[in-house]
Amino acid sequence: MRVLVLVVVLCSSAAAQADDARLARQNYQLQCMGCHGETGAGLEGQVPSLRGTLARISGAPQGRDYVLRVPGVTQSTLSAAEVAAVLNWALYEFSGTNAAKRIQPFTAAEVAQSRSRPLVEVSPVRAQVLRETE
């Protein structure tokens, strides 16, 4: 009986996680995909790619601070919790499970706090963060 209960709990938990992932994907498609693209590849020279780089940048304190202060995060019309969910979904979607697992998940509190500190000059900060996280 305990095994049955455990199986039911595990299945419910998996279904809830799948629901959260679908909502995060939907929010990415509606709010971010127009520029970053369906695959997160961005547009060379104009829109930063999220593929691979998101986890790499987010693993360093200065990179994490950068991610939380880019215009797409600070100016988003989504709630802080929804933005955090999109970031965490994007980590796995665009950087792969192994890289994403090493990153502390983004939280709604971090996103809410960063909104009062938007980046003004984005490109130089990104270039510096990329150099420092090579």
| Residues at the interface with other proteins (CB under 8 A) | 7, 10-11, 14-15, 18-19, 21-23, 25-26, 29-35, 37-38, 43, 46-47, 77
CA angle, corner 41, sides to 35 and 46, nearest 5?
50
CB of 39 to other proteins, least distance (A): 11
Among residues 19 and 132, whose Cβ is nearest to other proteins? 19
d(CA 26, CA 86): 9
Please give the full DSSP string across 15-38, using - where no structure is assigned: HHHHHHHHHHHHHHHHHTHHHH-T
Map residue 43 onto helix, strand or coil: strand
CB of 133 to other proteins, least distance (A): 26
Among residues 20 and 132, whose Cβ is nearest to other proteins? 20
Among residues 18 and 109, whose Cβ is nearest to other proteins? 18
The terminus-to-terminus CA distance of the chain in angstroms comes to 52
CB of 74 to other proteins, least distance (A): 14
Q: Which residue(s) pair with 12 in the sheet?
A: none
CB of 132 to other proteins, least distance (A): 28
